[in-house]
A and B are shown apart, each in its own frame.
Chain A
């Protein structure tokens, strides 16, 4: 019985939140990795792209709510998501046309494009703050829990409850659908194949008649979809705040690099690696340990390895370890 309690506590505080956070990071890292693969630079504006997409979705959600639309027990934001994606795609295509294309044509060094993306980051951050402000915004509606802790306890008679928030379930399902669609697109469709060809060998792809501008445009649209979905899922699960999204940049990049930049499969794995290490290192293990340790060995402290404020340090440490020992990432990424 104690052992079951320990497992439930572990599920409730580590596995379920880790899975949801990992899925959000994976979606974000996929966007970063795609841009790196096709456009060959690290996009520092990605966190703010997520913020912009989420903002567009929130505005659409408010519009729907004002018009009296809701989505039953699901959050209204899910219906608004396509609107958010469309607006973000337009913004990214516009940015590409106005900003990035110029440097692409001149074959500017990647580091110049990184600095340019810094400028774009400033502007997007400014736009988001300008339109929606800097406060915390909670836009989740619908049912709060799939299973609440109390119900679970009644059902099983255990001391520990297992709460699964509906936003966590939605995150996993939506992320799974998005990833499935992405891989179907990359592996099965003509455009997807041309994208992979372009990423593997630009010159060969150009020789075989692939239109680079089309590949780039499709990439930006996919990135808009991924970034907006990631941002909305994160926002539903926690809350929306422009600055938090900027800070997500670090774990997202860590995930993409740990998995191997330019490798979509690696980005997903990296997302979960980063998420689980953040959660396990900053979790106070006392609650689990009291069930499995014999009584006289029970810990007195919280058994928390690091305080939650150091979660950045965790993604950073993993990043450094991977870079030192396996510079191309866990899955083979591009090493330009």
Chain B
């Protein structure tokens, strides 16, 4: 069987799984899985760029996804004018002070001669800068967060169309990736891993605690949509007539319509990114990337700028994760910093890439869809298996109750087993690199 036929069959099987889900558990659920699966596929595409093309081990995906989500809020939410009046400019000034401190410290490091004087000067600049920054910043934050804290208490966004936030989310993630890449990319692979793991935790901590920026754990709800609202559709007579033509009641039809519209938007983004990634893979640039991945020393000897190229692809991959993050926040309609967990947003994406086939863009897309489908489906499957296992037990047995409660935790176990099995028996994944 030629690879093309095999791949087509694999994607057809994936579509089949979705159709079966739709027929057995309803099309609403199937479409929900598809939408999130498309977003997961985009994240997997970003990680595949870094790992599959360049061999960079990034386990801070959660942070970039969350930054994308922040992008959606900053672009699309209406600004809180009272909050801006209370301390918006002062917050910006404070942040500028903070940035200036860091720049000054770096300048001192670069300009002064090595020695005790330089270390002392750097320390002095940092300490003075830190206290100045806190002195300007803290009161402004208090003022902003005091503005109707139950409803706003944050600066709000720019009130622009939410679609614009997708590229902006990517830019935010790219900016963060530049900072991390500059500091950590020259180091060994496990050090980069730890550094990215750390920065992701810090980004989440910032989103959770800086209420003036993201409302913290109070969550931002009601992020505007790029597609129609169900309520409006149900009031639209043309739509009701159209739905009746399919034999659907208006409520079901409107939910399906909204999910389908999201699905179309996400598919467009996925196709565009996939096309770009494929073009990059085939171009001389992609060949150079793989040459660097396979033998850094040889590539460097050929005059390739290994560090620069690594930085480039690290930023690109992270930006794609940021775009996916913004799309996810748009789909959810809310930013909930408390729900970002590394197992779900970092390590699960890695399972997708490895299972799909690292180094192959189509593999990443397939892996993203398939693993997301499994992630959703494992829980009902687990419940079913548990009910089969426990069917012979007495109803009041503690073991039966415990097993039924624990079915929800089957997910992590299953994902771990799948990852280990694939790594052991088919390390190149479902669609291997060509």
On A, residues with C-beta under 8 Å from B are 41-42, 99, 102, 110-112, 114-116, 118-127, 129-131, 133-134, 243, 246-247, 249-250, 253-254, 257, 305, 307, 309-310, 312-313, 315-316, 319-320, 323-324, 327, 335-336
| List of A residues within 8 angstroms of B193 by Cβ | 42, 114
Q: Mark B327-363, 1 if CB is under 8 A from A, else 0.
A: 0000000000000011100010011001000000000
Tell me, in angstroms, the Cα distance from A127 to B409 when the chains sit together: 8
Beyond the given pairs A124-B416, A243-B341, A312-B201, 6 more chain A to chain B contacts, judged by CB atoms under 8 angstroms and listed by A's residue number, are A42-B194, A123-B416, A129-B406, A130-B409, A323-B183, A336-B188
Number of A-B contacts (CB under 8 A): 125
| 27 residue pairs bridging A and B, Cβ less than 8 Å apart | A41-B190, A99-B424, A110-B190, A114-B189, A115-B419, A116-B420, A118-B347, A120-B420, A121-B416, A122-B347, A122-B419, A126-B411, A130-B406, A130-B409, A246-B342, A247-B201, A253-B197, A254-B198, A257-B194, A307-B209, A309-B209, A313-B202, A316-B199, A316-B201, A323-B195, A324-B183, A335-B188
Interface string of B166-194 (1 = CB under 8 A from A): 00000000000000000110011111011
Within the complex, what minimum Cβ distance (angstroms) separates A71 from chain B? 27
B413→A312 contact, CB < 8 A: no
Cβ–Cβ < 8 Å partners of A121 in chain B: 347, 416
Contacts of B413 in A (CB 8 A): 122-123, 126-127, 130
Asked if residues B189 and A99 are in contact (CB atoms below 8 Å), the reply is: no
**Cβ B195 vs Cβ A313 within 8 A:** no
| Contact in complex: B205, A313 (CB < 8 Å) | yes
Taking the closest CB of chain A, its distance from the CB of B346, in whole angstroms, is 9
Q: Chain A residues near B205 (CB, 8 Å)?
A: 309-310, 312-313
Say yes or no: A122-B343 contact (C-beta < 8 A), given A129-B412, A336-B188: yes
Instruction: Answer yes or no: B423 CB below 8 A from chain A CBs.
Output: yes
| Chain A residue nearest to B346 in the complex (CB) | A118
| Chain A residues with CB below 8 A from B406, complex form | 129-131, 133
Q: Which of A115, A120, A121, A134 has the most CB of B within 10 A?
A: A115
How does the 8 Å CB contact mask read for B390-407 relative to A, with 1 for contact and 0 for none?
A: 000000000000000110
Min CB distance, B55 to chain A, in Å? 8
Q: Find out whether the CB atom of B424 lies under 8 angstroms from the CB atom of A250.
A: no
Asked if B415 is at the interface (CB within 8 A of a chain A CB), the reply is yes
Q: A129 vs B420: C-alpha distance in the bound complex, in angstroms? A: 19
Nearest chain B residue, comparing its CB with the CB of A129: B409
Query: What residues on B are CB-neighbors of A305 within 8 Å?
Result: 130
Q: How far, in whole Å, are A320 and B350 apart by their CA atoms in the complex? A: 24
**Distance A125 CA – B354 CA, assembled complex (angstroms):** 20
Assess the A126–B188 pair: CB atoms within 8 A.
Answer: no
**Residue B208, interface by CB 8 Å:** yes
How far is the CB of B33 from the nearest CB of chain A, in Å?
A: 21
Cα distance A99–B416 when bound, in Å? Answer: 12
* Contact assessment for A115 and B423 in the assembled complex, using a CB-CB cutoff below 8 Å: yes
Is there contact, CB below 8 Å, between B202 and A316? yes
With beta carbons under 8 angstroms apart, the residue of A119, A246, A312 that contacts B416 is: A119
Q: How far is the CA of A119 from the CA of B412 in the complex (A)?
A: 9
Cα distance A102–B199 in the bound complex, in angstroms: 33
Q: Tell whether B410 is near chain A: CB-to-CB under 8 Å.
A: yes
Contact between chains at B423 and A112 (CB < 8 Å): yes
Measured CA separation A129–B410 after assembly (Å): 9
Contacts of A336 in B (CB 8 A): 188
Listed from nearest, the 4 A-B pairs whose CB atoms lie closest are A122-B416, A126-B413, A123-B416, A126-B412
Contact indicator A249/B416 (Cβ below 8 Å): no
Find the A residue at minimum CB distance from B183: A320
Q: Which residues of B contact A315 (CB under 8 A)?
A: 198
Residue of chain A at shortest CB distance from B419:
A119
Complex Cα distance, B194 from A254, in Å, reads: 8
- Which partner residue on chain B sits nearest A311 by CB separation? B205
Contact A250:B201 (CB < 8 A) given known A42-B193, A126-B412: yes
Q: B15 contacts the other chain (Cβ, under 8 Å)?
A: no
- Judge whether B57 is part of the interface by a CB distance below 8 angstroms: yes
Residues of B within 8 A of A307 (CB): 209
A130 CB contacts on chain B under 8 angstroms: 406, 409-410, 413
Taking the nearest CB of chain A, how far is it from the CB of B129, in angstroms?
13
Determine the distance from Cα of A257 to Cα of B184 in the docked complex, in whole angstroms.
14
Residue of A110, A124, A309 near B189 (CB, 8 A) is A110
**Interchain CB contact under 8 A, A122 and B415:** yes
With A111-B189, A122-B415, A129-B409 as known contacts, state yes or no: A116 contacts B197, CB within 8 Å. Answer: no
Is B264 at the interface (CB under 8 A from chain A)?
A: no
A249 touches B405 (CB 8 A): no
Of the residues A127, A129, A250, contact of B197 by C-beta under 8 Å: A250
Q: Name B216's closest neighbour in chain A (CB-CB).
A: A309
Q: Which of B184, B208, B410, B419 contacts A323 (CB 8 A)?
A: B184
What is the bound-complex CA distance between A310 and B208, given in angstroms?
10
Find the residue from B183, B187, B188, B342 having the highest chain A CB count within 10 A. Answer: B188
Question: How many angstroms from the CA of A319 to the CA of B208 in the assembled complex?
Answer: 23
Cα distance, A234 to B410, chains bound together (Å) = 27
Contact B412 A122, beta carbon cutoff 8 Å: yes
A309 x B208 contact (CB < 8 A): yes
B417 at the binding interface (Cβ < 8 Å):
yes
**B420 contacts A99, C-beta separation under 8 Å:** yes
* A312 in contact with B187 (CB, 8 Å): no
A111 near B423: Cβ-Cβ < 8 Å: no
Which residues of A are found within 8 Å of B350, using beta-carbon distances? 115, 118
Smallest distance from the beta carbon of B108 to chain A beta carbons, Å?
A: 15
Contacts of A257 in B (CB 8 A): 191, 194
Our pick among A111, A131, A254 for the contact of B57 (Cβ within 8 Å) is A111
8 Å CB interface, B200-258 against A: 201-202, 205, 208-209
The CA of A64 and the CA of B391, in the complex, are separated in Å by: 31
The interface residues of chain A lying within 8 Å CB-to-CB of B411 are: 126
For B57, B194, B410, B413, which residue has the most chain A Cβ atoms within 10 angstroms?
Answer: B194
Which residue of chain B is the closest to A261 with respect to CB atoms? Answer: B190
Chain A residues whose CB sits within 8 angstroms of the CB of B420 once the complex forms: 99, 116, 119-120, 123
Q: How far is the CA of A324 from the CA of B187 in the complex (A)?
A: 9
Verify B416–A319 contact, CB threshold 8 A: no
Q: Are A114 and B419 interface neighbours, CB within 8 A?
A: no
Contact A249 B202 (CB under 8 A): no
Contact partners of B194 in chain A: CB under 8 A: 42, 250, 253-254, 257, 319
Chain B, residues 413-434, CB within 8 Å of chain A (1/0): the string is: 1111101100110010000000
Complex-state Cα separation, A173 to B92, whole angstroms: 50
Distance, CA A50 to CA B342, complexed state (A): 18
Residue of B nearest to A125 (CB): B412
CA distance A309 to B201 in the complex (A): 10
CB distance from A25 to the nearest CB of B (A): 15
Minimum CB–CB distance for B207 against chain A, Å: 11
Are the CB atoms of B202 and A323 closer together than 8 Å? no
Q: Which residues of B contact A124 (CB under 8 A)?
A: 416
